[in-house]
Every structure is written in structure tokens, then in C-alpha cells.
A and B are shown apart, each in its own frame.
Chain A
Amino acid sequence: MSRRLAALLIGAAAGVLVVAAAYFLFFSRPAPEAGPGAAAPARPGAAGDEAPERWTAELFFPTSAGLLAPERRELAGAGEAARAVEAAVSALLAGPETPGLLPAFPPGLEVRRALVVEGIAFVDLGRSGGGPPPASGSEEELLRLQALVHTVTASVPEARQVVLLWDGEQRPSLSGHVDTGSPLLPDPRLLAPAP
């Protein structure tokens, strides 16, 4: 964990972060349990020694109607929730393969680190070469953040909320509109009706 990330986990002053992160550090439970009744895409367990299995992540991308639609994607096995978040978000950043779906993020971004603690996924993004978060209008920002949150919470059942960091820092907002100072929750109103 970078010092900056550590400082900001605390500096955010959100008690939930503190409690959760403290719990993680002090009691270091190996793998948080899945939420009850969560219908998760199958992901291999954290056995660890055999060859990487494949699992199915559910990535959400903007549609031409300004909503979000899922794309199921086979990803390399990762037992630990944090690695799964990292893999799913990396795939999200790389863009959709389904025709008709639109990229949620501009190119050149990467996942610096992911952490899942007590239902909260901490996702630290940045530019490959460093630099500020992408500038955008509010609809683009809303879709971007909700694509991220839906992807994480649908793909990794241990994660029910997302705290977004940029270069290890939690900001009031990524692009000047949507609050990212609190954990983000998936907003079902942005999901496109199933075809």
C-alpha cells in the first residue's frame, strides 16, 4: 500500500474506511465472505497452487441510449477478491468487445491497486504516465463511475460499494461533478433494460 493511499484512507475521515481498514490490518481475515444470497459469477477459489482458472466477470459499458449494459467476459482466475476487482476493472478500462457498446473510460488509464475490505472495494486508478483524472461533462462522468461500480459489484460479490481513488488519493470528485468522497453504490436506474 502506498503511503499516500494509506494517508488518504485515513484522511477521508469516513469512519467506515477507518473501521474497515483497521479491521483488515489488525485482524487480517484472509478472505471476506460473500454477501448472503449474492448471485455471483463463478470465480475460482483461493486455492492458489494450480494453473489459473478462468472465471466470468460482468463488465458494464455505456450504450448509445446513455445507459449501461453488461458484457460477460472470461478472465484469468484470481481467488482473492482484490485481484478479481483489479482484473475486472482492467478489462473495463480496456473497453468493450461487444459491438454497440461504448468505452466507459478514455485510453491510457490503469488500475494502480485494488483492495476489498468488509464489502468495500478500494479502486485506485491513475494514468499510465501520471497526470490528472479525465476531464468530462457530468453525463460522461456519471456513466463512467456507474460503469465502474456496476462492474465491480456485479463481478465480485464480496464488494458491495466502491471507494474510488486517483493516484492513491480520494478526491471530492473525479471530474468535477459526482461526489467520490463517499463510497459509491450501484444505481440500478442506469441499467439498460435486458434485451
Chain B
Amino acid sequence: MLSSRNVSLPARRRFALSLLLALFVAAAGVGQEAPPALTPQAGGVLVVDGGSSPLGWAAAPGGPLVSLLPVVSRLGGQLEAEPLGAGFRLELGESRAMLAPGSAALTLGEEIVPLTQAPQLLGGELLVPVDLLQRTYGDLLGLAFDWPGDGRLLVTRPRQRELPVEMELVHLQGITTLVFRFPERPRYRVRERLGGYDVELVGDRLLPPPRRTVQDPLVRAVAIGAERIRIDLAPGVRADHYELREPFRLVLDLVAAGEAVATPTLPEQRRATPRVRTIVLDPGHGGSETGATGPEGTLEKDLTLLIAQQLAARLEEQLGVRVVLTRTTDVDLGLDERAALANQLRADLFVSIHLNSSPRAGARGAETYFLSMQASDQRAALTAAAENLGQSVEPIAAGPDAELQLILWDLAQSQHLAASQRLAALIQQELNVQLDLRDRGVKQAPFRVLMGASMPAVLVELGFLSTPGEEALLRTPAHRASLAEALVRAIARFKGEQEGVAPVPPAPLEAVP
């Protein structure tokens, strides 16, 4: 299945990679004063099939990071550096994974997988967390990666699990949703073939449920065997597959794409009508990151959690939506992880909740932000820097290209800016009414937590903790309840607009700095 056991680096990328490595060596040689964030550890060993080879690794706060190159050399695949240091591409047979140092997410095909920690370049080596190996090599080759904590990375072929599977099938408005439910995540891959799809188990076996006949306009047959689920579809039907957790489910959404023109009724319409079913609320800050502190010592991280919990309960009760909080306790949580969670849950809305502080005295009131795209500036800078070097640079903003997936991941929010702006406007309107604020428009800022969210996303500042009067007000449960109520009204209006239920006159939009 693996096309090559060699690490192949085309010339241009080899240049980019050697630049990176040479730069590191050159730069590290100059260093003396501050200790590095991570210390490379000597004596690491990669153990495969009883044989062993040297392995670079480093102890990071989030667990060990291990050198990817020896793993690729040993287990196969191709590792290539993307141009201009945009990241790395790992190809395993037909699968392609994109990763970037500093980014705690992995792009697997079209799926974005959050990682426990970001890969790093250290001492000229690309170091990755063990879960990255598990999600790539582990899932594709049926291998288990184990780090006993003594510098050894054990690669084993785990005992075969026998997993029971249940199937559900729902047909609604021209879309069939096929759900396979497992007690834990099986190692599998989905392959498209003529007339349907196969879910192939890798290293695991299935305990099929009793055989049953499927009656569905889009599905001809589903045969569940020990090693494969064979799904035969009606002509022209295409599938979009994804995973849901707790319990683990593999979901296939089936649509008759080919017949959309002939019968332009339900599937197309449902696709075109975004629905608001899952909302992710993000209580700002947490753990060692307190956010703003009021003069009386009120911490932003505490109130954001209280407000988010209250808002979640109201949204579930009043709108019947599913609400997930990025954190439910006082813990540290990275900004990228927050957006990644919303993406993973396929959330329809993302609302990050904060309380403000300002150096100016007497600042008061609420403000709602959507993302301002600094990334385009970064692209321009990147192009300019490359041009200064005399390299020819292809326009980066060309269409969606697999090689740009990492960048598109960074720019995930760009496709939802209009909806995000609308949501921000509705929230601001409701807050203006609630708090008797005048002429307060929506704002734009390059907020990191919004960048990776691939759904309408806003950050709302519910008041200024730095202003004594507002701090006192924000400490009152009744005031927080009224803020939550305003947010519920705004989200209900947005949901209604999106789903075409209750047309609402457009809110005046005013983007101010």
C-alpha cells in the first residue's frame, strides 16, 4: 500500500527545507543566553518488530515529541516540505496528511484533526506528538504507538479487536444519513468505488448486527462483514463522511448529486439552507490565563464561564439546540483548540464570550466582534519577502488547492465572514437594547480564536471589568442573566434568518475599529 519507503524531497522543497535546517543550525550556534523551550533528548529508540533504530525526541509540556523522519524511514511514506516553509506533507499510500510546526492540527484529506500539541522544528528535526503518528500510521496501517516514558517509541501491531457495530439509516428531505455506531473508534478507511463506498477495517474486525434489508431511495444495499462494510448506492449518489464522538459514530450523508438538476427540489434546498443545530460557546481564558482583572479582583475567566453556562442552559431550553462549551472548568485551553473543537463538532455557530478591560477610564458597555482578516496581509508580506529574494512566487490566493489546505485552515473563517458579521450585528443590536447603548456598531479585530472556526463565529465583550461600576454590575447574577437573555434573543433571530423561518429586517451594519 505504501508507494515508497524513501523520503522524497523535490528540488524546490529540498531548498526550502535545507534553508530551514541550515538556518536553525546557524542560529542555534550563535545562541547562549536563554535556555531553549525544549531540550532534545539523547538515546531515543524506535522499536519496530523487535528491531530498533535511533530516534530524536524532546520532552514537551504536553508529552513527548518524537522525530518524524526516522518513523517515515522505517514505516514508509513520503515526507515533503511545502514551499516557503508553509508546513510539511506526509503521504502514506493514497492518504495525505498536512502538518505545520506550531499548528496543533493535522489535515487528513479534507478532515482537520486536532492534535494534543503542535509539531515543532528543533535541532533541525521535525518533532511530532505521538497522537499524530497514531492518527496517520496507526489508523492507516493498523499499528499502535506506545511511549512507555523512557525514551522508547514502541510500534506494535495490536491485538485485533472485535467491535460490535450498529447501523441506523434515516431519510429526510432527499438526504439519507447512514450512521454506524461503535463502542470505540475502529481503525478504518473509507474508499469510494464504482457504485458505492467501502468502509474497510484495518487490523480490527467487526461483529455484524443481524442482517436487515434496507429500503431507501438512495441506498441499494448495506452489507456488514467482519472486515468490510459494503455500501451500494443508487446511481449518481455521493457520500460525505465524518465522525462523531461519544459514542463513536461514522456518519455518511448521502445525496443524489447527479439528479440535483433534474429534481431541483429538496436536496439542493436543504444544502442551501444552513441550519443552526449545534452551538459552541467559548468561555474566554481559563486556568493560568485570567484575562482581565477588575479593581475588586474579579477575574474575566470566572465570569465568562458562569455566563456561558447560563447561556448554554437557556439556548438548549428555548431554542432546542445542542450547546457545547469549550471548557466547563477553570482550565488552560489554547485558542486554536477552541476553534478546532467547534470544527470537530461541526458546530453551526461559535460564540466566544469575554469581558473587557481598557486603559481608558469609564469604559462601559458591550461590543461584538467578528474577524478582520490579517491573513491576507500576511500573504502579501510572504509574497513580498519572496520577491525580494528574487524567487518567482505563484499567486497564493489561487483557488482551493490541496497544497494550501493548511493556509485555508488558518483562513477557515474567511468563508463565513458575511454570516459572522450578521450574527455580530444581531447580538450588538440586542445588547444595545438591553444595556441602553447608543450607536454602538459591530467591530472587527484579528482575534485568534475566530480564525480557525469554519462556521459563523463572533467574540462578544459583555462589559468592562476595568471600570468599577461595570465590575460591580457584572458581579450581579441578575445582570448576567439579562446579558444571557439578550444573547439568546440574538441567536434566535440569527437562527430564524438562517433557516428562513422568521424574516427579520436587516440590522444596520457598521464596522468600526
- Taking beta carbons and an 8 Å cutoff, which residues of A are in contact with B? 1-23, 25-26, 62-66, 102-104, 118-120, 132, 135-140, 142-143, 161, 167-170, 172-173, 175-185, 187, 189-190
CB pair A3–B35 under 8 Å, yes or no, is: yes
B455 within 8 A of A: no
A172 to B335, CA, bound (A): 8
CB pair A16–B513 under 8 Å, yes or no, is: no
Q: How far is the CB of B157 from chain A (nearest CB, A)?
A: 33
B84 within 8 A of A: yes
Per the 8 Å Cβ criterion, residues 337-385 of B in contact with A are 354-361, 363, 367, 369, 374-375, 377-378, 381-382, 384-385
A21 to B384, CA, bound (A): 14
Which residues of the other chain, A, contact B472 by a CB distance below 8 angstroms?
none
Add 12 more A-B contacts to A136-B357, A177-B449 (CB < 8 A): A7-B122, A20-B385, A23-B389, A135-B285, A137-B465, A139-B357, A140-B292, A140-B466, A173-B335, A176-B284, A177-B447, A181-B448
Q: Which of B30, B293, B384, B449 contacts A135 (CB 8 A)?
A: B293
Which residues of the other chain, A, contact B388 by a CB distance below 8 angstroms?
23, 118
Which residues of the other chain, B, contact A9 by a CB distance below 8 angstroms?
23, 27
CB pair A183–B381 under 8 Å, yes or no, is: yes
Which residues of the other chain, B, contact A4 by a CB distance below 8 angstroms?
31, 34-37
A140 to B378, CA, bound (A): 23
B501 within 8 A of A: no
Nearest B-chain residue to A105, judged by Cβ: B359
Which residues of the other chain, A, contact B446 by a CB distance below 8 angstroms?
178-179, 182
A168 to B114, CA, bound (A): 25
Closest 8 CB pairs of A and B: A15-B84, A137-B357, A189-B513, A6-B27, A3-B31, A137-B292, A137-B356, A2-B34
A137 to B465, CA, bound (A): 8
Which residues of the other chain, B, contact A102 by a CB distance below 8 angstroms?
359-360
Q: Which of A1, A2, A6, A140 contacts B357 (CB 8 A)?
A: A140
Q: How far is the CB of A6 from chain B (nearest CB, A)?
A: 3
Most B C-beta atoms less than 10 A away, residue of A5, A25, A66, A176: A176
A190 to B360, CA, bound (A): 14
A67 to B42, CA, bound (A): 52
CB pair B466–A7 under 8 Å, yes or no, is: no
Q: Which of B19, B363, B367 contacts A18 (CB 8 A)?
A: B19
Which residues of the other chain, B, contact A137 by a CB distance below 8 angstroms?
291-292, 300, 354-358, 461, 464-466
CB pair A66–B37 under 8 Å, yes or no, is: no
Q: Enumerate 27 A-B pairs (CB-CB under 8 Å) in ascending A order.
A: A1-B30, A6-B27, A6-B30, A7-B121, A9-B27, A10-B24, A10-B27, A13-B86, A14-B378, A15-B83, A18-B16, A19-B19, A22-B23, A25-B27, A64-B360, A137-B461, A138-B447, A140-B466, A168-B37, A176-B285, A177-B447, A177-B448, A179-B374, A179-B448, A182-B377, A184-B374, A185-B374
Per the 8 Å Cβ criterion, residues 381-424 of B in contact with A are 381-382, 384-386, 388-389
Q: How far is the CB of A176 from chain B (nearest CB, A)?
A: 5
With A6-B28, A177-B447, A179-B446 already in contact, the answer to whether A11 and B378 are too (CB < 8 A) is no
CB pair A10–B464 under 8 Å, yes or no, is: no
CB pair A183–B378 under 8 Å, yes or no, is: yes
A190 to B384, CA, bound (A): 25
CB pair A13–B464 under 8 Å, yes or no, is: no
CB pair B101–A10 under 8 Å, yes or no, is: yes
Which residues of the other chain, B, contact A66 by a CB distance below 8 angstroms?
358, 360, 363
With A8-B37, A64-B361, A187-B513 already in contact, the answer to whether A178 and B27 are too (CB < 8 A) is no
Which residues of the other chain, B, contact A16 by a CB distance below 8 angstroms?
84, 378, 381-382, 385-386
* Chain B 292-334 interface 0/1 with A at a Cβ cutoff of 8 Å (1 = within): 1100000010000000000000000000000000000000001
A169 to B34, CA, bound (A): 11
Which residues of the other chain, A, contact B389 by a CB distance below 8 angstroms?
19, 23
Q: How far is the CB of A7 from chain B (nearest CB, A)?
A: 6
Q: How far is the CB of B414 from chain A (nearest CB, A)?
A: 14
* Chain B 12-30 interface 0/1 with A at a Cβ cutoff of 8 Å (1 = within): 0000100110111011101
